[in-house]
Structure 1
Amino acid sequence: MTAHEGLPHLRELILFLCLSGVLIPLLQRRNINPVLGFLAMGTLVGPYGLGRLVEYWPWLEPLTFPRVEDVAVFAELGVIFLMFMIGLEMSIDRLWALRRWVFGVGALQVGLSAAVIGGLAYVFGNPVEASVILGLVLAFSSTAVVMQLLSFRRELGTPLGQASFSLLLFQDLAVVPLLVLVGLLGQHGDGSFALQMGQAALKGVFTIGAIYLIGRRVVQPVFHHLAANQQSDTFMALTLLVSLGVAALTWAAGLSMAMGALLAGLIIAETEFRHAVEVTIEPFKGLLMGLFFMSVGMGIDLTELLSRPVWLPLSVIGLVLAKGLIIAALFRIFGLSTGRSLEGGFLLGAGGEFAFIVIGMALSFQLLPRDVAQFMLLVVGLSMLATPLLARLGQTLGNAIDRRSGQHASAMQINDPEAMRNHVILAGFGRVGQLVGEMLSELGVAYCAIESNPTLVARYRARGLPVVFGDASNPEMLRRLHLDRAGAVILTMDQTAPAVHAVRGLRSMSPDIPVLARARDEKHALALREAGANVVIPETLESSLQLAAGALARLGVPDEAARMMLDRVRDNRTHPLRNTS
């Protein structure tokens, strides 16, 4: 047995890892969106790119993917983890805080866009079922591309960023009923369509409700028990088990695995382990999502541009204009400035990655002719490739319009509890962290605390305190808590190595943010100061000074003399710890 036979798709896996190891750093250095990079790479090395030359030049085979089906399994895993990460963003509190935008603007956008695009598809001769599917799926935008663009531009916390996130959130939610609808349209059993719809809806609601309710009862205690062991490998295994296990349950119930992964993320999003899970799954999601988008790129045949040099570009332009105008109008009606509304239309006007999933599913049920499906996939792929250019164009035009009209992006405010500004991040929520949190609350200062003890996290979250489970020395965890918008970070951890590591990570991500740290002693304090902390308080020194002050008072030493002596000792001891910048 050869190595390839022992491990299926070994060559494809090694080639993908090689491309990822080279491609990801190169894209980061050039500030290119990774999603678009993987799409372009898949187009280049796929069966419609260099792969079609293998029969003439066999030496190209190790460097190409001649068959899309060879990476289909890995691509499906990428979809599962995409839906799982989306579920993590869909906490009930967040949906409720953004309900006006998610369920108001989002529903209007999908409904109006689907009606316009579906109507055009019907006019061009497509059956009703195909027109409905195309209208709905083309109403969706690319969550992966848009969110990464907003993240690169540091605009997730802006009104436009929050409005775009709300729109994408509703689209992600709408994927679930769309997948059910495609499955229903693909069935050819007895009975009316309304009866089939009702049966499937009841089955779906019962299955989803049962998994969600049981999952909430089971997942949190299991995570709590295993997290107490502080074993990162166990935590990672449990995260993978929940995401893939719930996906398998929904598949066994006749629903899609993508729906199950979304449900798994939603279950965990309601617990204090949400941010820790995001940090754990992020590396896997990045690789598998890269493989998914590379497989999408493999299905794009650019030679079709030669056979349809007019209709393909016109269809891409038509899609962006039709959907973009609807989005821009809704954003303007609901409070954004004219320029930012126009920018949102350009940013969200292209197609999204779910089109490849839904159209592929519809094609397997013979709901779409193959030539129509291939054409639509090309339209979506090309529009996604053009999204960065469209976003830059929209930003330029939007800035010019707002400057000319005197409008500002701050015309709209979205009440998102997680979109805090000038908040304090507490790293550690033991006795010191709790006391600091109480004082901040009394002064009306927002804060969020990270604690690695799951027992403490569960106890204080039950009281409504903003505490999440995680490793405070992990810079990615701090990034999840919006470090870029925080006013200060306070480290109350008493372990030297994790605290120093956290300070160094903070300084690498945010050189200017104020960092205040607690230290056990002066040696620990000096290490924190050298790592980049602005203010360091050695607790042994302060305890000693307070004890000495009490003793001097009892002995009758005058208050002024005692104070001067204590200040002198404090000054001598803390001089090396001062920020001299």
Structure 2
Amino acid sequence: MHGGLSDQVSDALVILGAAGIVIPLFARFRITPIIGFILVGVLVGPAGLGSLTDQAPWLYYITITDREAIAPFAEFGIILLLFTIGLELSFKRLWEMRALVFGVGAAELIGSGLIIGLALFAMGQNAAGALGLGLALALSSTALVLPISGTTSQVGRSALAMLLFEDVAIVPIIFMLGALAPYASADGVEGLMTTVWMGAAVIAAMLVLGRFILPKLFGQAARTKSPELFLAASLLVVIVASLATSAVGLSPIVGALIAGLLIAETEYRSEVEVITEPFKGLALGVFLITVGMQIDLAVIADNWVSLVTAVIGVVVVKTIVTGALLKISGARTGTSAEAGLLMSSPSETTLIVLTAAAEAALIQPETAAFWTIVTAIGLTITPILARVGHDVSRRIELKQHDQPDEVPEDEPRTIVIGFGRVGRLVADMLKTHKQPFLCVDSDIDCVAGGRREGYPIIFGDVARPEMVDRLKLGHARALIITMDEPVLANAVVKRVRGWVPDLPIIARARDVDHAAELYRAGATDAVPETLESSLQLSEAVLVDLGVPMGPVIASIHDKRDQYRRQIMESGGLTEKPTLKTQTLRDSAPGATPAEA
């Protein structure tokens, strides 16, 4: 009915249209676009509107009827994702993670695989098929987990370590399944050993050659000052590295990861990361659409009990195994629980292993189709599991610290709520000017890090009224609120103002409108981030243009006071700051609210 080229053009239009709708729409409601792309795949795939093209030919132009046609683009998206993960790492950091990668990572994959496999064997699946299914379902999604968790938090580092081992283990798993096939011969073992030594040789060659070639390649591209050439060089490196590892039987994502690690050791890392980011996001969206196309709502409706049972079983087993192993390795309970839930869904590579198991006749095609749908459902709910895991972790941490740290009984001090980047800067300035202070934060990692660096900081969640009461604000010199949670900040200001009418309250505001809300709630000073950054930019420009520093600072102060009066008026306030507030401001660090 339609030519091959027109099919590709139509599919491309559907994908680009989905990206143009899903990303801004879901961002507007602060929902991860991961779910949006998967839902688009369900809607426009062969089991959705694509099944109606015979009755309504016009649907052809807004659907994708051949999931295999866009599969290569989805694979390229995963390759780019692993490449950017490599850019965020370093060989030193990988070496530091070796215990997690080859210890917890190996134990998680083998432990989860054996438990799931034993359960399937007990339900009647043959031994080889149960082992293949167990290992397939034990894999977790690199494509979804790392964009959600990042690689810098404790949860992200733990997830990254386990995912790195899984990515390396894919090839041995597939070879093992081939060796277990009823018609397999000794060639399977011999092929695995050949892949191992050839793969090691290729990786070693990449590590050696990359250190000499990549700086020269990107240096030449940088001299041309052509973004297009820089992008072409980046994609060339990714593709060549992936093809090299694929040629010897390894996964292409191994080559992409190594290419990222090599570039991360050069001075061009940041530029490469920025220039490839849009392509990674779009290609990942294509992959997620292909995941959604695996979901047939009619099949789910007919088999929903067994499918839900299977999804729950896989999620529970992997959560328990992963969480327990991380706890044994020394992670906190909250981190273990969050990482366990985050890693509990099957993976995009599960689909590859299922295909290999079916081709090796270890499982029936119907069995592979059933677990394919389970995998697609698991991938779909991964963002939800991540959110649940985060909430569970927070509850565990709060329960373990149900009695917040006691507030020291000494001289009156300034209380700083929030110890992020803004709160830390405020604390540094207070310390510089020898002003006594105490910081409060509900992130136990943040509290532990601050204590190691010598900051006076306690653990506590000001969302709980009893925590605010424990701060003894009636004896405080001032309260500074730096957290980026507008609703909670407003609530704290209102509660404290009703309790301590004369306490100076200086609050960080997201924008001018939020500042007005804080003034209405009772803040003494509300500092909008957008206003302060504009004033600081103006100051820098005027000084660089040669205007004397004195007049510049005076004009910046005048402009700040002018805007402050306008914001207070919009917040329904007209009175001047109290003498106590003005004195505090004059003696505060930097003598301006900019640092607050």
Which TM-score band (shorter chain)? 0.5 to 0.7
2:297 match: secondary structure = coil
Paired residue type of 1:571: G
Displacement of 1:298 in angstroms is: 0.7
Structure 1: gaps spanning 5 or more residues: 411-419, 425-444, 446-483, 485-506, 516-527, 543-568
| 1:497-531 CA-partner distances (Å, limit 9, x unpaired) | xxxxxxxxxx9xx974999xxxxxxxxxxxx9657
1:386 match: secondary structure = helix
| 1:448-468 CA-partner distances (Å, limit 9, x unpaired) | xxxxxxxxxxxxxxxxxxxxx
Q: Distance in 2 between matches of 1:80 and 1:247?
A: 8
5 Å-filtered alignment, 1:18-57, equals 18-57=17-56
| 1:373-398 CA-partner distances (Å, limit 9, x unpaired) | 11111112112222233333333343
2:347 match: secondary structure = coil
Displacement of 1:536 in angstroms is: 6.7
Q: Distance in 1 between matches of 2:340 and 2:539?
A: 43
Displacement of 1:8 in angstroms is: 5.8
Q: Distance in 2 between matches of 1:36 and 1:408?
A: 38
5 Å-filtered alignment, 1:140-159, equals 140-150=139-149, 157-159=152-154
User: Contact 1:250–1:257 at 8 Å: present in 2 too?
Assistant: yes
Displacement of 1:215 in angstroms is: 2.8
Displacement of 1:39 in angstroms is: 1.3
Q: Distance in 2 between matches of 1:185 and 1:87?
A: 33
1:265 correspondence with 2:244: no
| 1:245-283 CA-partner distances (Å, limit 9, x unpaired) | 222333344444333333322332332222221211111
Q: Distance in 1 between matches of 2:530 and 2:178?
A: 51
1:315 correspondence with 2:314: no
1:380 correspondence with 2:359: no
Paired residue type of 1:388: P
Q: Distance in 2 between matches of 1:244 and 1:338?
A: 41
Structure 2: gaps spanning 5 or more residues: 406-419, 426-452, 454-483, 485-511, 513-526, 561-592
5 Å-filtered alignment, 1:271-310, equals 271-310=266-305
- 2:330 aligned residue: 335
Q: Distance in 1 between matches of 2:296 and 2:171?
A: 29
* Stretch deviating more after TM superposition (156-165 or 21-30): 156-165
Displacement of 1:340 in angstroms is: 3.7
- 1:389 aligned residue: 384
2:218 match: secondary structure = helix
- 2:223 aligned residue: 228
Q: Distance in 2 between matches of 1:186 and 1:266?
A: 36
User: Contact 1:50–1:64 at 8 Å: present in 2 too?
Assistant: yes
Change (3 A) 1:512 1:365: farther
Q: Distance in 1 between matches of 2:264 and 2:132?
A: 30
Displacement of 1:534 in angstroms is: 6.9
Displacement of 1:320 in angstroms is: 0.7
- Pairwise CA RMSD: 3.8
Paired residue type of 1:137: A
User: Contact 1:336–1:409 at 8 Å: present in 2 too?
Assistant: no
Displacement of 1:103 in angstroms is: 3.1
Q: Distance in 1 between matches of 2:153 and 2:250?
A: 37
Displacement of 1:348 in angstroms is: 1.9
Displacement of 1:51 in angstroms is: 1.5
Change (3 A) 1:98 1:52: same
- 1:555 aligned residue: none
User: Contact 1:179–1:256 at 8 Å: present in 2 too?
Assistant: no
Q: Distance in 1 between matches of 2:235 and 2:275?
A: 9
- 2:433 aligned residue: none
User: Contact 1:184–1:197 at 8 Å: present in 2 too?
Assistant: no
Change (3 A) 1:124 1:201: farther
- 1:250 aligned residue: 245
Q: Distance in 2 between matches of 1:107 and 1:357?
A: 19
1:214 correspondence with 2:209: yes
| 1:191-242 CA-partner distances (Å, limit 9, x unpaired) | 3543332222222222232233223321222112221332211100101111
- 2:93 aligned residue: 94
- 2:550 aligned residue: 571
User: Contact 2:182–2:361 at 8 Å: present in 1 too?
Assistant: no
Paired residue type of 1:572: P
1:401 correspondence with 2:400: no
| 1:158-185 CA-partner distances (Å, limit 9, x unpaired) | 4334333333343334345445556766
1:310 match: secondary structure = helix
Paired residue type of 1:304: V
- 1:203 aligned residue: 198
Give the total of aligned pairs.
449
Change (3 A) 1:102 1:91: same
Paired residue type of 1:225: Q
Paired residue type of 2:550: D
Change (3 A) 1:358 1:82: farther
- 2:12 aligned residue: 13
Q: Distance in 2 between matches of 1:213 and 1:186?
A: 38
Normalized against structure 2, the TM-score is what? 0.66
Change (3 A) 1:325 1:169: same
Q: Distance in 2 between matches of 1:380 and 1:275?
A: 35
User: Contact 2:338–2:389 at 8 Å: present in 1 too?
Assistant: yes
Q: Distance in 2 between matches of 1:233 and 1:360?
A: 38
Normalized against structure 1, the TM-score is what? 0.68
Percent identity between the two aligned chains: 34
Change (3 A) 1:178 1:189: closer
Q: Distance in 2 between matches of 1:232 and 1:100?
A: 40
